[in-house]
Amino acid sequence: MLAGMDELTNLLDRFVTDLGATIAAGNVLIGDRLGLYRTLAEQGALTPAELAAKSGTAERYVSEWLPGQAASGYVTYDAASGRYALSEAQALAFADPDGLALPGAFELAVSCLADEPKIRDAFTSGHGFAWGDHHPGVFTGCERFYRPGYVANLVSAWIPAVDGLPARLADGCAVADVGCGLGASTRIVADTYANATVTGFDPHPLSIDLARRANPGVRFEVAKAQDFPGTGYGLVATFDCLHDMGDPVSAARHIHTALADDGAWLIVEPYAGAAVADNLNPVGRLYYSFSTFLCVPHALSEGGAALGNQAGEAPIAAVAAAGGFRTFRRVAETPFNLVYEARK
């Protein structure tokens, strides 16, 4: 009986943590959209009344919001002065648009939950639910969620991990960023390698429209991974999107055709182990949950079998092989991503 009570206590501890995190997500978005984090970062330690006055918000709401943020560890409270502040790390995470941009991850999660009735219907019908049919916050939240990882790793680690690729980009090869979404990865490559001809492709017209608005001077086109135009690319990249495709093998075959003979396909996918048991951890929990709402429904909407974002290395290697690629290897990894190179 005691062992059973210990299990129940642990379960309730997890429940309280999860329920608090769920409702805290909405409060993070309020702090982000109303500039509360930004004001704290700029002004230093403030009382609730001071923060409300400087941010143009109502004191009674702010005085309730701040303790919740302190309880979450997202702001710091000084009991002696009654003031709240952001530490350097908290400011980097919540207030710096070029930092970790953690509110973007909450935007993505909250927007997914807004579609819960539609995903519930998909569970019972077995039908898919297309990316473009989601709440608009999914598109902007996804870009904010992934961008910090690309900023931190794409140029410094992932591109150099592919033999000869930095030199080829510097010399001005053609690049296709396939499934580019709102274009964060496309812009990074274009800004870093001015001689390269970089184009972002995505099948979702709204995402391409948003990408063009956010990234003037960078080229974007509406196109699927299975039929984007052009050949002779020195680099084709798919960032966190191959697993979303209903027919990834057809995409791999088209990428194979589009690449120059000495070109490389850079594949970035969510981190995952080879078996379910390997993924029963906080990162796996995060990715399985997002995959249930986003990745699997979209792949099914395209008539595919749906890899899911926790497919792991072997299924991605099998897609590359079926697409005609002769070599496939893991070249880099982070706690959140696995990075592969495939060549003809």
Reported as a single tens digit per residue, the pLDDT across 59-73 is 999 999 999 999 999
- CATH number belonging to domain 153-343: 3.40.50.150
Task: Tell me the domain boundaries of the chain.
Answer: 2-93, 153-343
CB 327 within 8 A of CB 333: no
Sequence-separated (6 or more) residues with CB below 8 Å from residue 57: 34, 36, 51
Calpha distance 236→268 (Å, rounded): 11
Sequence-separated (6 or more) residues with CB below 8 Å from residue 34: 55, 57
Share of the chain above pLDDT 90, in %: 98
What are the pLDDT digits (tens) for 231-287? 999 999 999 999 999 999 999 999 999 999 999 999 999 999 999 999 999 999 999
Calpha distance 193→172 (Å, rounded): 8
Please state whether the predicted TM-score (pTM) of the whole model is above 0.85. yes
Across the chain, mean pLDDT equals 97
Write the burial class of residue 77 (CB in 10 Å: 0-12 exposed, 13-18 middle, 19+ buried): middle
Q: Where are the beta strands (DSSP E) in the chain?
A: 76-78, 83-85, 174-178, 197-202, 219-222, 233-239, 259-270, 327-333, 337-343
pLDDT above 70: residue 1: no
What are the pLDDT digits (tens) for 17-57? 999 999 999 999 999 999 999 999 999 999 999 999 999 99
CA distances from 172 to 175, 177, 185 (A): 9, 15, 17
The two three-digit tokens of residue 61, written as one number = 């709401």
| Topology of domain 2-93, CATH | Arc Repressor Mutant, subunit A (1.10.10)
pLDDT attached to residue 2 = 58
Calpha distance 150→268 (Å, rounded): 10
